[in-house]
């Protein structure tokens, strides 16, 4: 007895293999897209954590600002001065909060510098130095001292912030960045305003808040840190 067995033709097998190949290709493409989305999400999450840690550290260090006064009596500089330099591109304060030991760091000079880099890039750098001697502290900060011929006021020229390899990079690749300083009680009675630099006055040695503003990749950001320095420890430095 003879039976007929019907199999697949070559054309049918080619069509089946083509369909399987197309399904595998679609699966691989979907897997690649999913992997890239996962990697992108991980990168964004990591960047968010970095930004949160940076913001928390900046708040902790600046809000721990110590209103440190130094009384100097020599031929170049005489008087009582707060250790503070507050400009758009540089902020120098005495604080008890450091990057290594947090609030257990002791007194240290925190120097923030906004530095221009190649390719129109701006970085925000931090330099920390333990305070061991007031004389060395002043020499580190002050480049020269002059007296205004009209008012007789002392005009202090501070040392520039020159980047070093040991500086800590807080922010990088910015288009622009600057510090601003809140004055809630300006002497001219204009009302609260943000100043591009801060000059200490007898009634306001320190600003009420410090704001860091920046622009990066077409979007802007800012961080406002209140200054709670009110008690005024004082150190005396004689020739």
- pLDDT for res 235: 47
Q: What share of the chain is helix, strand, coil (3-state, %, to 5)?
A: 25, 40, 35
- pLDDT for res 239: 39
Among residues 227, 198, 232, 231, which one has the least CA distance to residue 60?
A: 227
Q: Would the pTM of this model clear 0.85, i.e. be above it?
A: no
Q: Residues with Cβ < 8 Å from 195, sequence gap 6 or more?
A: 180, 181, 182, 183, 207
**Along the 239 residues of the chain, how does pLDDT read in single tens digits?**
455 556 668 777 888 888 888 888 888 888 888 888 777 766 666 656 677 888 889 998 998 888 888 877 766 666 677 888 999 999 999 998 888 766 666 789 999 999 999 988 999 999 999 988 877 788 788 887 776 777 666 677 888 999 999 999 999 999 999 999 999 988 887 889 999 999 888 888 899 999 999 998 888 899 999 988 654 444 444 43
- pLDDT for res 238: 40
Beta-bridge mates of residue 130? 108
DSSP 38-62: HHHHHHHHHHHHHHHHHHHHHHHHH
At residue 51, φ and ψ (nearest 5 deg) are: -65, -40
């Amino acid at each position: 007895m003879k039976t007929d067995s019907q199999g697949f033709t070559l054309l049918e097998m080619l069509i089946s293999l083509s369909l399987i190949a197309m399904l595998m290709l679609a699966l691989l493409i979907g897997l690649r897209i999913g992997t890239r989305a996962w990697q992108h999400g991980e990168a964004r999450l990591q960047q968010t954590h970095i930004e949160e840690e940076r913001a928390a550290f900046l708040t902790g260090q600046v809000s721990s600002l110590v209103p440190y006064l130094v009384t100097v009596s020599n031929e170049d500089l005489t008087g009582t001065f707060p250790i503070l330099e507050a400009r758009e591109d540089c902020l120098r304060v005495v604080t008890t909060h450091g990057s290594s030991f947090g609030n257990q760091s002791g007194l240290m000079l925190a120097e923030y510098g906004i530095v221009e880099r190649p390719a129109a890039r701006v970085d925000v750098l931090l330099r920390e130095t333990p305070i061991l001697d007031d004389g060395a502290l002043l020499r580190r900060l002050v480049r020269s001292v002059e007296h205004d011929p009209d008012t007789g006021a002392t005009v202090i020229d501070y040392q520039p912030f020159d980047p070093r390899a040991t500086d800590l990079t807080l922010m990088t690749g910015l288009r622009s960045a600057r510090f601003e300083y809140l004055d809630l009680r300006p002497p001219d009675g204009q009302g609260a305003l943000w100043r591009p630099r801060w000059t200490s006055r007898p009634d306001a040695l320190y600003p009420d808040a410090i704001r860091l503003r920046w622009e990066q990749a077409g979007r802007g950001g800012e961080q406002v840190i209140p200054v709670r320095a009110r008690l005024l420890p004082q150190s005396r430095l004689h020739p």
